[in-house]
Structure 1
Amino acid sequence: MGDLDRVLVLAGGISPEHEVSLRSGRRVAEALRRLDIEVQVADADAALLATLAADPPQVVFPVLHGAAGEDGAIREILELAGVPYVGAPPHACRVAYAKPTAKALVAEQGLAVPRGVTLPKSVFHDLGAPALLDRIVAALGLPLFVKPDQGGSAFGATSVDSAEALPAALVSCFAYSDTAIIEERVAGTEIAVGVLDLGDGPFALPAVEIVPDGGVYDYAARYTAGRTEFFSPARLDPATAAAAAEAAITAHSALGLRDLSRTDLIVDPGGRVRFLEVNVAPGMTETSTLPLAVEAAGLDFAVVCRELAHRALLRG
C-alpha cells in the first residue's frame, strides 16, 4: 500500500449535479488524507490536460456526476493522457449512462424491468402529443414515472398519477434531455445496492432502503439531511436481500463496469426485485447510499477509497 501516495480527485463538472459532485469529491479527498495520502482536488476544466501533463498524479479518482463524468468522455481523456483512474472504462460508461440501453441489456440477463417506452421530443411534435399520450396511458396504465434517458439526481424525473399530469412531466423531462423514458411506476420498497471490486471480483454491499419524507426521492430528498430515512441494511428478508445483491452484481457485470457501481432497484409487494438504473459514479456525500452501505458492511470508507485507488494504480 505504501506505493500509493498521490491521488487527484476530480469533482465539479458542468452538469446540474455540480454541487453534489463537489461534496462527493471533498469527502473522498478527506478520507484519503486521513490515511496520509497526498490529495489534490481539481475540476474537469480547461486546465485539466495541463495539470495532468505538468504534474501527473499516480491515480485519478473521478467523482464527477452527470454528463462527461459518467458518459465516458472524461475517462477517454484520462486514457489519452495515460493516467490510471478509478472506475469503469469509457465504453462501459457510455452503455450504463444510456438508461434505455442499460435497461435492455440487464433484461437480457434475466433481470425484471418496468414496462415502458423511450421516445424523443420530436415524436410528440411530429405525431401529435395528445393522441400519442392517450396511447401510452392505454398501454402502460397509471401511475407512471417519467425521466430523462440519461443523467441522475432525479433531475427531470416526475411521478405521474393522472393522464392530465403527463404533459407537464414531459416538459420537465425535456428540460434535461431530448428523450424521455415513460414507464410504469412500480409500487414497493426502493433500495440501492452498491457493488465493489477490491481485487477479488465484484461483491454486493448491504442494500440500503430509501424512505423519503413525502414519498418522492427527488433532489432535495437525496441531498438534504433529514429529508429521507435510510435503513442500512434494508429491511428485507434474507431471500429478497440475496436476490437484490445478485441483481446488482448481474448489472455491474453485464454492463462491463469496474471497481464500483450502484444499482437502483425496487422490491414490489410480491417480493420481486425490479431493476431501475445503474450509476457508474455513485454519490459519496453524507446522505449518499454507497458510503452508508460501506459502513453497514463493517468496512472503513477511507480504506475502501484507498483500495480502489491502489487497484487503479496496479492496472496502470
Structure 2
Amino acid sequence: MSNSKINIALFFGGRSAEHEVSILSARSIYNAFSKEKYKIYPIAISKQGYFISPAESEAILFGEQKKVPEINRKNILDQEILNILENKIDLVFPVLHGPYGEDGKIQGFLDTLNIKYVGCDLLASAVGMDKAVMKEIFSYYNIPQSEFRILKKEDVNKQKLPKLFQKLADDLKRPFFIKPANMGSSIGISKVKELSSFKAALKEAFKYDNKLIIESSVEGREIESAVLGSGDQIQVSAAGEIISTHDFYDYQAKYKDQSTELIIPAEISEANKEKIKELSIRAFKAIGAAGISRLDFFVNEKENIILINEINTMPGFTQFSMYPLLFKEVGMSYMELLDELVNIALAEAK
C-alpha cells in the first residue's frame, strides 16, 4: 500500500432490516479507530444492495446526510469503489447486521475477490445467522438449549392452523416463541399464548423468512458473553445481564427503550460464570467462528439451568453495545478491541 497505515474499507448499512443499527455501529467504529494507525474508507450499502460513494458514505456517518440514498443504476459497484477494493485496502470491516451481511453473503463476495475481512468466514456466518441450522449443530455437540421446532412456510400451508397450534402447544407448552430463522435484533419475534396470537405471529415472522423457529419459553435471566479470537487463542469477556421492562428483549427494548438495563458484571455465581465461559467457547468452536461473536444465554440459578439462546457473529458495535461493554469490564478498551479484531483478521488471512 501507499503508506504504512492499515487501510480498511468499512462496510455498513445493507439490505437488512437492521440497516439503521449498522449505521450506528459503523459511526462508533469509524470515530474510535486511531487515524494515526488506520486509513478508513467508509462504504455504505443501500437497502437495494448498491454501494454508495465514499464521499456520500462519510456524509452519512458524520450525520450530514440523514440516510443511505436509494440508488437505481446499472452497476452495483462503480469504478471508484472497485478501485478502492482492488488497490487501496488491506481488509474490509463488514459492520453489517442481519441478512446480506451477517449471513455469509458479503463474506463469500469478499472471498471471491480475495479480500481479507474482519469476523467469521462464510460458513460460520451462515450457520450463526440461520438459527435452525445453528440449533441443530448445538444439539449435535450437546450444548444445552431450550426445546424447539423448525417450521417452514410450505409446512404451514399444508396444515390447519388450530391443529398445528395445538401440536406445538402440546410439545413446547405455552407460551412459546416464534422467530424468523434468519434475522437478528429480535426482529419478527412474537410470544404466543393462544391461537389468535399464533396467526398474527406467523404472519409477522414470515415477513422476514420462509423458515421459522418455534421455541419453548424459558424461565430465567438473560445473560450475555462476548468472545474474541480464533483457533485455540480465544478470550471470553465478563458476563452481563439484560433487564428489560418488556415482555421479552425485543427490538424496541434493545434500541429505543431507555428503561432497559445492562448489568455488568452479571450478579451470578462464580461457578455459573465459568460455565458460561465454557459454553461460549464450545458454541464458538461448534460453528467454526473466528474473530467476533456474542453469545446469549438463559440462566436459572434456582434450578441450576443454563441454556444457550443463540450466537451472533456480528453483534451491535456502538460504544454502548453489550459486546464492547463486556470486554471493557475485563480491561479491554473499545479501541484496543478494534485493534485486536484487525490483528486477528490479518493473521487469519495469512
Aligned to 1:31: 32
Are the equivalent residues in 2 in contact too, given 1:263–1:278 (CA < 8 A)?
yes
Q: Shift of the alpha carbon at 1:163?
A: 4.0
Aligned to 2:43: 42
Alignment of 1:143-162 (within 5 A): 143-162=175-194
Q: Shift of the alpha carbon at 1:156?
A: 0.6
Q: In structure 2, do the counterparts of structure 1 residues 215 and 128 end up closer, same or farther at CA, with 3 Å as the change threshold?
A: closer
Q: Shift of the alpha carbon at 1:287?
A: 3.8
Are the equivalent residues in 2 in contact too, given 1:115–1:183 (CA < 8 A)?
yes
Q: Shift of the alpha carbon at 1:224?
A: 2.4
Alignment of 1:204-223 (within 5 A): 204-223=236-255
Are the equivalent residues in 1 in contact too, given 2:178–2:215 (CA < 8 A)?
yes
Supply the AA of the counterpart residue of 2:126: R
Q: In structure 2, do the counterparts of structure 1 residues 76 and 222 end up closer, same or farther at CA, with 3 Å as the change threshold?
A: same
Gaps of 5+ in 2: 46-50, 52-75
Q: In structure 2, the residue corresponding to 1:226 is in which secondary structure?
A: coil
Gaps of 5+ in 1: none
Using the alignment, how far apart are the partners of 1:54 and 1:112 within structure 2?
Answer: 44
Q: In structure 1, the residue corresponding to 2:233 is in which secondary structure?
A: coil
Q: Shift of the alpha carbon at 1:60?
A: 1.0
For these two proteins, the number of residue pairs brought into alignment is 315
Are the equivalent residues in 1 in contact too, given 2:120–2:291 (CA < 8 A)?
yes
Structure-1-length-normalised TM-score = 0.93
Aligned to 1:306: 339
Post-superposition CA distance 1:232-271 (Å, at most 9, x none): 1111110111111111111100100001101111112413
User: Which structure has the bigger radius of gyration?
Assistant: 2
Aligned to 1:280: 313
Say whether 1:57 aligns with 2:58. Answer: no
Higher RCO (CA < 8 A, seq sep 6+): 1
Aligned to 1:15: 16
Aligned to 2:281: 249
Using the alignment, how far apart are the partners of 1:147 and 1:220 within structure 2?
Answer: 15
Using the alignment, how far apart are the partners of 1:312 and 1:132 within structure 2?
Answer: 46
Alignment root-mean-square deviation, CA: 2.0
Supply the AA of the counterpart residue of 1:232: I
Alignment of 1:95-174 (within 5 A): 95-174=127-206
Aligned to 1:74: 106
Structure-2-length-normalised TM-score = 0.85
Aligned to 2:261: 229
Are the equivalent residues in 1 in contact too, given 2:98–2:183 (CA < 8 A)?
yes
Aligned to 1:5: 6
Supply the AA of the counterpart residue of 2:133: T
Q: Shift of the alpha carbon at 1:52?
A: 4.2
Using the alignment, how far apart are the partners of 1:160 and 1:287 within structure 2?
Answer: 31
Using the alignment, how far apart are the partners of 1:106 and 1:231 within structure 2?
Answer: 27
Q: Shift of the alpha carbon at 1:311?
A: 2.4
Using the alignment, how far apart are the partners of 1:225 and 1:155 within structure 2?
Answer: 15
Are the equivalent residues in 2 in contact too, given 1:4–1:313 (CA < 8 A)?
no
Q: Shift of the alpha carbon at 1:198?
A: 7.2
Q: Shift of the alpha carbon at 1:36?
A: 4.2
Using the alignment, how far apart are the partners of 1:85 and 1:20 within structure 2?
Answer: 20
Supply the AA of the counterpart residue of 2:152: P
Q: In structure 2, do the counterparts of structure 1 residues 256 and 306 end up closer, same or farther at CA, with 3 Å as the change threshold?
A: same
Q: In structure 2, the residue corresponding to 1:270 is in which secondary structure?
A: coil
Q: Shift of the alpha carbon at 1:228?
A: 0.9
Q: In structure 2, do the counterparts of structure 1 residues 3 and 190 end up closer, same or farther at CA, with 3 Å as the change threshold?
A: farther
Post-superposition CA distance 1:169-204 (Å, at most 9, x none): 111111111111111010110011110017861121
Identity %: 30
Aligned to 2:213: 181
Using the alignment, how far apart are the partners of 2:35 and 2:272 within structure 1?
Answer: 36
Post-superposition CA distance 1:9-66 (Å, at most 9, x none): 1111011000000111111111113664221211243227614445431121111011
Post-superposition CA distance 1:132-177 (Å, at most 9, x none): 1111111211111110111101111012233442221111111111
Using the alignment, how far apart are the partners of 1:107 and 1:136 within structure 2?
Answer: 19
